[in-house]
């Protein structure tokens, strides 16, 4: 049997074993497992307009001629309706005319048709089709368009995405069902997930992020554009959104909350763990485009009397969550900044040397109110990867990394996602 398309089956007449009308096919149910999910049931509009669900095993023949009815094995009186299982998916309802993710090309595709093939007497889902040909077939105009194309010496292209790389997007699925369905999407790099999210509406974005683990979801949101970040966090359940915000660096979480309505931001801060919420709230007190508004709190800092060996052990024990450990800082008991040293200097130093002997006391730093332009100039002038941010008494408030600044000051046309809009 050659490939058959869903739109060639939908609304097709059925006849029983005696040739009597048995209704029309409305949809197909599949088990969304494996590379080519099998069709398991037929959803039928019966002769009296009643809805039936029949097992695929009652199908005797699906003629290649789309004008011919689908033949069943049993007489009408012998057909026994069954129920859909919770793990079965209605192919037409969930996939046709919907957006899906092509996880191989990391893009969103609108499905104009679904390709099926026969294997062992049962239909299997092979792929989905976007593009003009699938749309024309859906509109019953494919053959006319083919004739016109031949007259012009051209061919109608096909855009088929193999099912093994297709991820359906369905916001009405339960959380447990989405976790089973979105397995392929969860394996993508967070930056690719961010690109995909930008092609979806807010509810679709929230549906995807709800089933990702918090770390992956946080990284994906961080990679997205600011308007996408705010919209997706606003659409999520507060508990899930708070868990994701806790996984982010405090400055990134603060940036998102500053773009939300005040009431929503307050709700999320109250839902977050108190320690993480306090860090974010401190950052929200600063102007957004200043060093204080962009900095990350909790930099790696040590007392001056600590030895190199002790500092290395403390890094192993305590610095796993630090944004960067290229530079480490030395502070007094009042947390005032005394000096700085690099990770390279620490590793190469004698293990018994004290940090006050290793550190550079002349530290390039900025105040919390320092503007982005001045920060960028200092990073460039001294070829730094990070700058400490200090308060009025010289106390170390946080650090500002070069990527924090570049994300805001680089021309938009240099950004990958902005470039894509012009291609």
- First CA to last CA distance, the chain: 41
State the DSSP H helix or E strand holding residue 355, giving kind and residue range, or none if neither. Answer: helix 355-358
Burial of 404 (0-12, 13-18, 19+ CB in 10 A): buried
Q: Mean pLDDT across the stretch 328-335?
A: 94
**Calpha distance 95→97 (Å, rounded):** 6
Distances in whole angstroms, Cα of residue 92 to Cα of each of 112, 113, 125, 171:
10, 9, 12, 15
Query: In this prediction, what percent of the chain has a pLDDT beyond 70?
Result: 88
Confidence of residue 15 (pLDDT cuts 50, 70, 90): very high
> Taking a C-beta distance cutoff of 8 angstroms, is the pair 43, 25 a contact?
yes
Domains of the chain: 4-92 (2.30.30.240), 169-285 (1.25.60.10), 301-408 (3.10.580.10)
The answer on pLDDT for 419 being more than 60 is: no
User: Is the pLDDT assigned to residue 173 strictly greater than 60?
Assistant: no
Interatomic CA distance for residues 211 and 199, integer angstroms? 18
| DSSP, residue by residue, 87-124 | T-EEHHHHTTTSEEEETTTTEEEE-SEEEEEEETTEEE
4 touches 63 (CB < 8 A) = no
As a whole number, mean pLDDT of residues 162-176 equals 71
Average pLDDT on 165-181 reads: 62
Name the region of 97 (left: φ>0; alpha: ψ -120 to 50; beta: rest): left
CB within 8 Å of 377: residues ≥ 6 apart = none
Structural contact between residues 257 and 272, judged by C-beta atoms closer than 8 angstroms:
no
Kindly report, residue by residue over 81-135, the tens digit of the pLDDT.
Answer: 999 998 898 999 989 988 888 989 888 998 999 999 988 888 999 999 987 777 7
Residue 176: pLDDT above 60? no
Give the pairing type, strands 99-102 and 166-168. Answer: antiparallel
Q: How much is the average pLDDT of 170-185? A: 58
Q: Let me know the angle formed at the C-alpha of 295 by 291 and 298, rounded to the nearest 5 degrees.
A: 140
- CA distances for 95 relative to 32, 111, 195, 312, angstroms: 11, 7, 21, 54
Instruction: Tell me the average pLDDT of the chain.
Output: 85
| Cα dihedral 406, 409, 413, 417 in deg (nearest 10) | 50
Residue 351 scores a pLDDT above 90: yes
Overall average pLDDT of the 192-201 stretch: 88
DSSP strand pairing (386-390 vs 39-45): unpaired
| Nearby residues of 145 by Cβ (< 8 Å), 6 or more positions away | 132, 133, 136, 156
* Closest CA relative to residue 386, chosen from 327, 337, 346: 327
In sequence order, what are the residues at sequence separation of 6 or more whose Cβ sits closer than 8 angstroms to the Cβ of residue 140? none
pLDDT mean over 13-38: 91
């Amino acid at each position: 049997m050659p490939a058959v398309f869903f739109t060639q089956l939908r609304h097709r007449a059925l006849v029983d074993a005696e040739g009597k009308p048995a209704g029309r096919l409305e949809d197909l149910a599949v088990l969304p497992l494996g590379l080519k999910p099998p069709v398991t049931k037929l959803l039928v509009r019966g002769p009296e307009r009643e809805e039936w669900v029949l097992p695929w095993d009652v199908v005797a023949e699906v003629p290649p001629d789309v004008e011919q009815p689908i033949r069943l094995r049993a007489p009408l009186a012998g057909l026994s309706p069954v129920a859909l299982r919770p793990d079965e998916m209605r192919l037409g309802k969930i996939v046709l005319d919907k957006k899906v993710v092509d996880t191989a090309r990391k893009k969103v595709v609108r499905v104009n048709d679904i390709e099926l093939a026969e294997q062992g007497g049962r239909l299997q889902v092979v792929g989905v089709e976007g593009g003009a040909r699938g749309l024309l077939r859906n509109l019953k105009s494919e053959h006319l368009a083919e004739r016109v194309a031949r007259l012009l010496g051209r061919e109608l292209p096909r855009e088929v995405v193999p099912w093994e790389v297709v991820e359906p997007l369905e916001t009405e699925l339960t959380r447990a069902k989405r976790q089973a369905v979105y397995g392929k999407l969860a394996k993508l790099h967070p930056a690719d997930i961010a690109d995909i999210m930008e092609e979806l509406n807010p509810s679709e974005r929230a549906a995807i992020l709800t089933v990702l683990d918090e770390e992956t979801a946080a990284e994906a949101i961080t990679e997205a554009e600011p308007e996408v970040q705010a919209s997706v966090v606003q659409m999520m359940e507060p508990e899930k959104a708070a868990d994701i915000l806790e996984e982010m660096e405090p400055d990134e979480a603060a940036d998102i909350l500053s773009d939300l309505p005040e009431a929503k931001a307050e709700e999320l801060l109250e839902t977050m763990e108190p320690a993480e919420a306090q860090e974010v709230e401190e950052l929200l007190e600063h102007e957004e485009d200043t060093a204080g508004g962009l900095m990350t709190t909790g930099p790696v800092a040590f007392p001056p009397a600590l030895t190199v060996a002790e500092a290395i052990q403390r890094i192993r024990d305590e610095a796993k969550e630090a944004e960067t450990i290229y530079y480490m800082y030395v502070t007094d008991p009042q947390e005032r900044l005394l000096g700085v040293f690099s990770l390279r200097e620490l590793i190469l130093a004698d293990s018994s040397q004290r940090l006050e002997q290793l550190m550079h006391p002349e530290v390039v730093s900025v105040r919390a109110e320092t503007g982005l332009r001045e920060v960028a100039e200092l990073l460039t002038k001294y070829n730094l990867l990070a700058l400490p941010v200090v308060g009025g008494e010289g106390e170390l408030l946080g650090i500002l990394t070069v990527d924090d600044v570049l994300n805001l000051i680089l021309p938009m046309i240099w950004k990958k996602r902005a470039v894509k809009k012009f291609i």
